[in-house]
Amino acid sequence: MNKLFARWLPCATLAAWSTVLLYFFFSGRVQAFLHPTFRPYVLAAGLVMAGMSLVFLLFPADANCCSSAECGHGLSRFAIGKILTFLVLLLPITAAAVFSPDGFGRDAMLNRGILTEATGLRAPAAQTKPLTAPAHTLPTKGNAPAPAPATSSGPPDYLTRTPDGHIVAEVLDLLYAAQDNALRKDFEGKAVELTGQLMPDASNNAGGHRFKAVRMFMTCCAADARPVATLVECETLPPLPEMTWIKVTGTATFPIENGRRISVLKADRIEKSAPPDETMLY
């Protein structure tokens, strides 16, 4: 029995962890847990563990350590102890893979506190507009297309737009714009299209015409993710459940309320939407 466990326990444990890591990577579920910078390491760790499991399979371990009464590993003296050791190593990650949700629920967002201003978040990259037109992005746009060439009618437009001419913005763009005069000029009074999850607003909603469009902002991993939101103002609140993904089209405004400047998107159209490919902001 000792030889059997010595041969198969390390192999099976490493194979199980490798399977879970590779599953998270290739299924796309890793997007909800890690910043894109760190996702390749999940693939690398899964492949390394798969290789190590093959090493244990092809080169069996020596079972002499736990084959006598003098063994210092208490659980390893008995077959049931070896089974328990295996389950302790395997069950936690298996349960996490099967039962963990792919996103943050309403209670998790409320417990972490929904931020409606950029104070406390990392500062956005410096915004400069050079004379030539290199690749230029907003704080949350890492894959924006190259800007259009300059024309005699005015400076180049570095913002991503829909076919209708609406600026495609993220929640963080509006929060940063509320704190940055130069960035605010790009959005204030302009038609904006924004995607987020619908959450009620209790603190800035005296007239009952506002709600929050929420996204999760991640610096490294799910452990440090924080919900951030811009306020949306409309004539009638949409008849949709909380946490529904919505697309809001409206005018970006930045009023001063209670002594601080905030972002308020005055909605012209609110419609249910599919989640974006990347549900997190970075």
Phi, psi values for residue 80, rounded to 5°: -65, -30
| Sequence-separated (6 or more) residues with CB below 8 Å from residue 263 | 116, 174, 175, 177, 178, 230, 231, 252, 253, 254
- Tokens coding 270: 């609110």
The CATH homologous superfamily of the domain defined by 109-122+158-281: Nucleic acid-binding proteins (2.40.50.140)
pLDDT of residue 130: 36
pLDDT of residue 65: 52
pLDDT of residue 128: 37
CA distance 275 to 271: 12
Distances (CA, A) of 184 to 145, 167, 174, 222, 253: 21, 13, 8, 29, 9
pLDDT of residue 175: 93
**Across the strands, what pairs with 281?**
217
Q: Where are the domains of the chain?
A: 2-100, 109-122+158-281
pLDDT of residue 72: 47
pLDDT of residue 80: 67
pLDDT tens across the length of the chain (282 residues) = 556 556 677 788 888 889 888 988 998 888 888 889 999 999 999 999 999 888 877 876 555 555 444 554 444 555 666 667 667 667 777 777 777 777 777 777 877 788 888 776 755 544 433 333 334 445 554 444 544 444 434 445 678 898 988 999 999 999 999 999 989 999 999 999 999 999 988 776 767 789 999 999 988 888 888 899 999 999 888 999 999 999 999 999 999 988 889 999 999 999 999 999 888 888
CA distance 241 to 222: 24
CA distance 184 to 198: 24
Other beta carbons within 10 angstroms of residue 30's beta carbon come to 17
pLDDT of residue 156: 53
Buried b (16+ CB within 10 A) or exposed e, 64-79: eebeeeeeeeeebbee
Closest-CA residue to 278 (of 145, 172, 126): 172
pLDDT of residue 168: 93
pLDDT of residue 228: 92
Q: Which amino acid is residue 123, in one-letter code?
A: A
CA distance 218 to 198: 19
Question: Is pTM, for the whole model, over 0.75?
Answer: no
Residue 3 CA neighbour count, 13 Å, CB half:
1
